[in-house]
Chain A
Amino acid sequence: MASCGLEIPLRGYSDGDPFFLPAPEIARNCPIPDLLDKRLVIVTGKGGVGKTTVAVALGLRAASEGKRTIVCEVASQENASRMFAHTAVGFHEVEMEENLWSISIDPDESMREYVLLQLKVRAMRDMLFRSRIFNYLAAATPGLKELVTIGKIWELAQLDRKVKKGRKYDLVIVDAPATGHGVGFLQTPRTFASIARVGPIHSQAQTLDRFITDHEHTGTAIVAVPEEMPVNESMALERDLRGEVGVAVDRVYLNGLYPERFKKEEAERLAQLAESENGTNGATKAAARAALSEFNRAKSQRSQLNRLRRGVEAPVKTLPFLFEPELDVEAARRLSRKLG
């Protein structure tokens, strides 16, 4: 990749054990391959903004472009499998459609898998997990669960999979925990590398941190909705992701944007109509009021969209509000065609 003149040095490694020092590499902050050409895309944002929908839509889009893609959930809520009207997938890579797989990454299962990869002997691993003191220490070590979860995400994204007969994926999409949890989650490897100063887990944590902060292969997409609080949080989230975590932020998706169905002049006429129908209880008045609500919401949403555009560095793409009772996989497929 050609240098673009906006180079920022990779932080945090110069004072580490020289043994783990990466080749003198520079993280680049400009022309990045497009979002879906990365190996890992982390979908993050405040709770209830539609992260799962966007993660699944991105997955469908990538799969339709012929990329072998896996969508990972980390909060064991099985929202993604539910969208596909599929039974819970658990800690298994389950095929949902052509080129599209799904997994729910359970930290305990990740831990078992990780320890097995370290010890190589299943019987020894099982003995270890029966030991109370081991379970206790594992639970007591801050961040260990998050670390092995990220470790599993990393493992899924490797072309040279660590698990036996592991499938090779072109793209791994993560439906990340909500804001707050999300930033801490992505910082886990670095935090961990600083509390475990030596030993294999220290170097593994560093590998994970390099993986997350590698702008060429790892990106994030923030999902927001056009309301005051979520827009504020998205701006703060972008700052934290870029500044504190050091991960690339490639897109901000503003989800649930109402269509602009009525012009201002039309809204005025509708207001007059609603007024003249006052006292009646007819559908005319109700319909006029619904149209006015639509007009007002669409207007207030546009001002939030403008605030968001001014407040973030990443390109903002909008996704329409779907007037549908429940969002299923077909709704996600329609959204997937609108993803920029």
Chain B
Amino acid sequence: MASLNEVLEGKSICICAGSGGVGKTTTSAAIASGMAAQGLRVCVLTIDPAKRLADSLGLKELGNEARRVDPTLFEAQGVEMKGELWAMMLDAKATFDELIARQAPDEESRERVLNNRIYQQISSALAGSQEYMAMEKLFALHTEGEFDLLVLDTPPARNALDFLDAPKRLTQFIEGKSLRVFMKPTGLAAKVTGRGVSVALSVFKKIVGFDLLADLAEFFNAFSGMVDGFQARAKRVNKLLADRETCFLVVCGPQGEPIDEAVYFHRKLVEAKLPFGGVVVNKVHYPADELKGDIEDLPETLADKLGDPDLAKRVAANFADYQALAERDAHNIDHLASELRTSVVIRVPHLDEDVHDLAGLAQIDRYLFATAEERVEMAAGRA
């Protein structure tokens, strides 16, 4: 079984993807701090981290710029920090505004776009904008080349497709070939030929009202000078995602639903010809396989040793519950590994306390970066 170190060897971008609630943010932060500890200059791009995780990373007043995490914080946790850990919180709106500023041919068109009401909605609300801006920021940082490794904690996409399709969807939206008519200064229906089109427009106008249609026209008009720049840039972003220096990690939990989603997401990555690195399964109940022999007389043994039959009964019942969860997890993970045809399935145990500080991240790193032998030992050491 390959280790995370082997998977990330020679990579400059690591993208952690998965559905909501599976621990993506924590995993991203743990990978970044682990790789930084080994001597790399790493930046983790995250969105909406838990307050205490943000605090512990010194992310409190972070904006759309990378900041360095204070190395003395790691020393306090007994972690030797050979490299540098940087972190930033993504602000989709600010990134979009920056992109407009970069692409706009002149001040006037920039202002026109930024002030357009449709743009203001799109930059913060259109499905896919956040995903696209995460890629955009990644691309910008990669181009600047100041980091050895960039770790991206992807936004919790409602479904995996959202995230992969985002760049395409957004550029399609902006280029809008069928809407070239809108970009003509003479405006809407004047240039439109064909009865179907004018009927469609008039019905649409009837439903949403003229002013919304006018705003849309104005938006496409204002955007017209930037279409080519956007297309070129999106092409380069897509190329970067498919590059061999990029690595996608699928993050999931051990329950049936997250496992199914991980399988689905992996299939989408393969279809899109994007480089899949491996899967991280969080909050796994480790099995105690080697114990199966003497489980039958466990209640009696416990009663003898504790001198308290009632407590012994509860301990045995609790153990049986945990074993059932461990068996489920092992079964689900076997299924996952065979579906994904991968040997890179990294299991992180369900720790007794939830992780929200550097100490917790260090604990997770022990599992993430363990070699195959270490992993066997750790599994045996746990209940």
| A residues neighboring B (CB under 8 Å) | 46-49, 75-77, 79, 115, 118-119, 127-128, 131-134, 136-145, 177-178, 180-181, 184, 191, 195-202, 227-230, 232-233, 261-262, 266, 269-270, 273, 281-294, 296-297, 300, 323-326
Q: Decide: A142 and B126 in contact? CB cutoff 8 A.
A: yes
Contact of B294 with A by CB under 8 A: yes
In whole angstroms, what is the CA distance A97 to B264 when docked? Answer: 30
**A-chain residues with CB within 8 Å of residue B206 when the two chains form the complex:** 118, 199-200
Select one of A115, A136, A261, A286 contacting B178, CB under 8 A: A136
User: Nearest Cβ in chain B — how far from A26, in angstroms?
Assistant: 30
Closest partner residue, chain A, to B292 (CB atom): A283
Q: Decide: A323 and B294 in contact? CB cutoff 8 A.
A: no
Interface size of B by CB at 8 A reads 76
Select one of B208, B211, B305 contacting A284, CB under 8 A: B305
Taking CB atoms and an 8 Å cut-off, the chain B residues in 103-118 that contact chain A are 117-118
User: Nearest Cβ in chain B — how far from A20, in angstroms?
Assistant: 13
User: Nearest Cβ in chain A — how far from B334, in angstroms?
Assistant: 14
Q: Decide: A133 and B318 in contact? CB cutoff 8 A.
A: no
A-B contact pairs, 19 of them (CB 8 A): A47-B19, A77-B159, A137-B200, A178-B20, A181-B158, A191-B121, A195-B118, A195-B215, A201-B209, A228-B356, A229-B50, A262-B314, A262-B318, A269-B306, A283-B298, A284-B298, A287-B318, A293-B383, A325-B327
Q: Decide: B288 and A201 in contact? CB cutoff 8 A.
A: no
Q: Decide: A300 and B306 in contact? CB cutoff 8 A.
A: no
Contact with A along B203-215 (1 / 0, CB 8 A): 1101111111101
The main secondary structure of chain B at its interface with chain A is helix
- Centre residue among A132, A227, A286, A293 by max chain B CB count within 10 A: A286
Taking CB atoms and an 8 Å cut-off, the chain B residues in 158-203 that contact chain A are 158-159, 173, 176, 178-179, 196-197, 199-201, 203
**A-chain residues with CB within 8 Å of residue B306 when the two chains form the complex:** 269-270, 273
Given pairs A48-B19, A143-B125, A291-B314, 15 additional interface contacts (CB within 8 A) = A47-B20, A48-B22, A118-B206, A127-B199, A132-B178, A140-B216, A142-B122, A196-B208, A196-B211, A198-B209, A199-B208, A199-B210, A232-B50, A282-B291, A326-B255
| B residues neighboring A (CB under 8 Å) | 19-22, 25, 48, 50-53, 117-118, 121-122, 125-127, 156, 158-159, 173, 176, 178-179, 196-197, 199-201, 203-204, 206-213, 215-216, 253, 255-258, 288, 290-291, 294-295, 298, 301-302, 305-306, 308, 311, 314-316, 318-319, 321-322, 324-325, 327-328, 352-354, 356, 380, 382-383
Q: Decide: A131 and B51 in contact? CB cutoff 8 A.
A: no
**A-chain residues with CB within 8 Å of residue B126 when the two chains form the complex:** 142
Asked, given contacts A269-B306, A273-B305, A287-B315, whether A232 binds B51 with beta carbons under 8 Å apart, the answer is yes
In whole angstroms, what is the CA distance A200 to B203 when docked? Answer: 12
In whole angstroms, what is the CA distance A192 to B48 when docked? Answer: 26
**A-chain residues with CB within 8 Å of residue B298 when the two chains form the complex:** 283-284, 287
In whole angstroms, what is the CA distance A49 to B23 when docked? Answer: 12
Closest partner residue, chain A, to B319 (CB atom): A287
In whole angstroms, what is the CA distance A292 to B352 when docked? Answer: 9
Q: Decide: A115 and B318 in contact? CB cutoff 8 A.
A: no
In whole angstroms, what is the CA distance A288 to B312 when docked? Answer: 9
In whole angstroms, what is the CA distance A134 to B206 when docked? Answer: 12
Q: Which 3 A-B pairs have the closest CB atoms?
A: A47-B20, A48-B21, A199-B209
**A-chain residues with CB within 8 Å of residue B118 when the two chains form the complex:** 142, 195
Q: Decide: A141 and B383 in contact? CB cutoff 8 A.
A: no
User: Nearest Cβ in chain B — how far from A332, in angstroms?
Assistant: 14
**B-chain residues with CB within 8 Å of residue A283 when the two chains form the complex:** 288, 291, 294-295, 298, 301, 319
Asked, given contacts A202-B209, A228-B354, whether A134 binds B204 with beta carbons under 8 Å apart, the answer is yes
Asked, given contacts A47-B19, A287-B298, whether A133 binds B121 with beta carbons under 8 Å apart, the answer is no
User: Nearest Cβ in chain A — how far from B174, in angstroms?
Assistant: 9
User: Nearest Cβ in chain A — how far from B354, in angstroms?
Assistant: 4
Q: Decide: B305 and A133 in contact? CB cutoff 8 A.
A: no
User: Nearest Cβ in chain A — how far from B215, in angstroms?
Assistant: 7
User: Nearest Cβ in chain A — how far from B341, in angstroms?
Assistant: 24
Q: Decide: A128 and B199 in contact? CB cutoff 8 A.
A: yes
Q: Decide: A142 and B19 in contact? CB cutoff 8 A.
A: no
**B-chain residues with CB within 8 Å of residue A127 when the two chains form the complex:** 196, 199
In whole angstroms, what is the CA distance A144 to B207 when docked? Answer: 11
Select one of B22, B200, B290, B352 contacting A293, CB under 8 A: B352
Q: Decide: A119 and B203 in contact? CB cutoff 8 A.
A: yes
**B-chain residues with CB within 8 Å of residue A227 when the two chains form the complex:** 354
